[in-house]
Structure 1
Amino acid sequence: MAQTTKYNMVKEKITEWIISEKVHPGEKIHSENELGRMFGVSRHTIRQAIGDLVHEGWLYREQGAGTFVSHQQVHSSQTLLSHPPLKKTKNIGVITTYISDYIFPSIIKGIESYLTNHGYSLTFACTDNDIKKEKLCLQTMLNSNIDGLIVEPTKTNTFNPNIQLYLELEQNNIPYLMINQFYSQLSPPHLVMDDELGGFISTEHLIKLGHKKIIGLFKSDDLQGINRMKGFIQAYKAYSIPFFPEMMINYSTENQEIYPIERLTEVFETANRPTAIVCYNDQLAIQVINYLRSLNLTIPNDISIIGYDDSFLTEASEVKLTSVSHPKIEMGTEAAKWIVDAVEKKGTLPPSSVYKPKLILRNSTGPCPDTI
């Protein structure tokens, strides 16, 4: 198991303990040595994971006493249903797809910092990118007397049967804002990335390095993946690069752990190998890097690779990953500011925002080996 995978596994498991209330706010967690034995990883890996969770606000340390669960208000959909919060004033709901998503804790940090400074509490729920769970989260939020709602929508490239619940929010004069993507049927206020441009500039960068055999790996049940794929295709067209079979591999939420690498394996078993790969996000890029290592390929000498979101994973291994930026904390802060303005001013809502991506260059991309 790669070091990065172990690191994420530890973070996700501890986060799950907090959400499922196996450990409670103010409660001490296991020591680094105990966690190392429990997960079968080095103390260094545990220390990295704990440090990140402290930075993200899930845990806090007390000198000489240990590490404890923080008091930030975090709930799973099941917890919210079993223990709906009492009526509060100045309470903002936040629904996201994954509690342990590798960029969302940074977004939450921006949201929580702004809301806390303005006297608001935060009620948090996650959907696991599952439409049925999204319904439960929305129903609970509606019953929880929230003043406003920030939502990362679920499976935005498929029909969503929960539209009526969003209309109910509107009927109850509860403002809501969507981040990262939005449901086009509702045309809601939103803060999103220009993902098509992100897909374009990453592919363009590889083309300018001489690559013509570039494969794109894209998630197909979220519009982020579809738009990034559009940009990928537009770059091919703009530079008159010939299309070829297997130039795109699409996958869904349900098969994201296995399918992309399985399909990539099939491609690399042929003589028609790519010289570069564009990935839907940094998480997938790390999976691909680990697979390429198993083939004894070096990056970027043999093959170049680009991620997306400029997460902490870009610096997590000896291969420093070229990636498309995501505003993370800035988006969270702006989302919180938007929702507070909407709650307090009760008038014209602030406009939506589209963030322009930038390509952050590191050492995972280089000239096409055929041109050297």
Structure 2
Amino acid sequence: MKERLQPKYRQLKEEIVSWIAAARFKPHDKLPSENEIASRFGMSRQTVRQALGDLEAEGWLYRTQGKGTFVAETAEGGRAGSSALTVGLVTTYISDYIFPTIVRGVESALRLQGARLVLASTDNEKAKERECLESMLRQQLGGLIVEPTKSAEGNPNLDLFLALEARKTPFVMLNERYSDLDVPCLKVDDELGGFRAAEHLAKLGHRRIAGLFKTDDFQGVYRMRGFLRCLRERQLALAPGFLVRYTTEEKTSKPELALAALLDLEPGDRPTAIVCYNDELAVRLLDVVRRKGLAVPAELSVVGFDNASLATATEVKLTTFEHPKTAMGEDAVALLTELVNRRGGGRQPEDIVYEPKLIERESAGPAPVSGAK
């Protein structure tokens, strides 16, 4: 069956909205005349008039008698002509790991304001992030909360973030931000967390500590940086193979294979403790430890990050670091609301940086006697 084509006026509406989304026409810019648009697209003036009339009714455009049709400016609460705040939220995932709790924090804060949430997920893929941003731009939001996708691998979607700035749509970033953007960010001090993870194990007597970090996002890069800084300051040698870096695509294979190889070393050469990028990885690595017949923490101590629900779902409860999931969502809404209220002037709010707090459980203990030499 052939796909049914949209009526010409709807096709024209989508085209004009795309101009606005890409900031080709900014608030209060004048659009080409009806005759010019009709000539450019081979449409009748009546079709053009219908498309422009719909966009005016929907708040995208406004007309001034005798002067023409102009792009409307987004009102402080959301769409032009709307008093309710409409906020977009773009995260790498929605239903996995710690993300549902962050989303609930955002939702609860918006609900108190009588605001509406538009939710999208990139599945941690740059191309999907682009699709999400394009969709958000077309909805003419009052504000946007974005978790960057693979933040350490650059920002191929910079043009869309610049379009947000040109549209004067305020946005904030979660967990990290792209290095080429100067926008408020809410994040954990991940470098301090990586330092404290290694420090905790060193204080327990461990000298052979391995680290496994996902480094296509800045969270992992900074956790690794803190981990390495602690080892240097304590003059603890990093043995060959004890630092494992991996990408999102490798997360279900490379770390497990790397740890299995390390645990096959002689007892005096293998690590006595590991620091994991997050709790999701730590839980998967516990299976590797079991298969090798080793005990946690008697023969191998394990530290994770984020205090996810997974951290207490296994028979060995994970020592980990707190992630302010709900508070981060709520604080993001407060920070975004501050930006909306300051639109057009005022000093940009500072980042919100949360201190990583250690949660001691069963998975980390004193170094075995043979591993403390």
Partner of 1:230: 225
2:299 aligned with 1:302, yes or no?
A: yes
Partner of 1:94: 89
CA distance in 2, matches of 1:91, 1:188: 19
State which structure, 1 or 2, has the greater radius of gyration over its C-alpha atoms: 2
CA distance in 1, matches of 2:115, 2:275: 40
2:268 aligned with 1:269, yes or no?
A: no
Partner of 2:130: 135
Which whole-Å deviations, capped at 9, do the CAs of 1:303-346 have from their partners, x for residues lacking one?
A: 10000001111111121100011111111100011112222342
CA distance in 1, matches of 2:260, 2:287: 12
One-letter code aligned to 1:326 = H
**Which of the residues 245, 253, 256 maps onto 2:251?**
256
Spell out the pairing of 1:257-336 with structure 2 (5 A cutoff).
257-271=252-266, 272-336=269-333
CA distance in 2, matches of 1:127, 1:119: 26
Larger CA deviation: 166-175 vs 350-359: 350-359
CA distance in 2, matches of 1:352, 1:159: 20
Q: Secondary structure at the match of 1:254?
A: helix
2:209 aligned with 1:214, yes or no?
A: yes
**Offset of 1:269 from its aligned partner?**
2.2
The answer (yes or no) to whether the contact 2:214–2:246 under 8 Å persists in 1 is yes
CA distance in 1, matches of 2:145, 2:132: 12
**Offset of 1:145 from its aligned partner?**
1.5
CA distance in 2, matches of 1:194, 1:237: 19
The answer (yes or no) to whether the contact 2:147–2:173 under 8 Å persists in 1 is yes
CA distance in 2, matches of 1:116, 1:345: 21
One-letter code aligned to 2:138 = N
CA distance in 2, matches of 1:216, 1:243: 9
**Offset of 1:243 from its aligned partner?**
2.3
Unaligned runs of 5+ in 2: 1-78
2:351 aligned with 1:356, yes or no?
A: no
Unaligned runs of 5+ in 1: 1-85
Q: Secondary structure at the match of 1:95?
A: strand
CA distance in 1, matches of 2:201, 2:350: 35
Partner of 1:202: 197
Which whole-Å deviations, capped at 9, do the CAs of 1:264-310 have from their partners, x for residues lacking one?
A: 12222222211001000000000011111111111111110000001
**Offset of 1:198 from its aligned partner?**
0.2
Partner of 1:119: 114
- Scaled by the length of structure 1, the TM-score of the pair is 0.75
Percent of aligned pairs sharing the same letter: 45
CA distance in 1, matches of 2:258, 2:211: 12
**Offset of 1:160 from its aligned partner?**
1.5
CA distance in 1, matches of 2:219, 2:342: 31
**Which of the residues 336, 339, 345 maps onto 1:339?**
336
**Offset of 1:155 from its aligned partner?**
0.7
CA distance in 1, matches of 2:88, 2:200: 39
Q: Secondary structure at the match of 1:309?
A: coil
CA distance in 1, matches of 2:310, 2:120: 24
Spell out the pairing of 1:109-188 with structure 2 (5 A cutoff).
109-188=104-183
CA distance in 2, matches of 1:325, 1:345: 32
**Which of the residues 233, 237, 246 maps onto 1:242?**
237
- Scaled by the length of structure 2, the TM-score of the pair is 0.75
**Offset of 1:131 from its aligned partner?**
0.5
Which whole-Å deviations, capped at 9, do the CAs of 1:198-227 have from their partners, x for residues lacking one?
A: 000010000011101111000011111110
One-letter code aligned to 1:252 = T
**Offset of 1:350 from its aligned partner?**
2.5
CA distance in 1, matches of 2:148, 2:228: 25
Which whole-Å deviations, capped at 9, do the CAs of 1:19-39 have from their partners, x for residues lacking one?
A: xxxxxxxxxxxxxxxxxxxxx
Q: Secondary structure at the match of 1:308?
A: coil
CA distance in 1, matches of 2:166, 2:155: 19
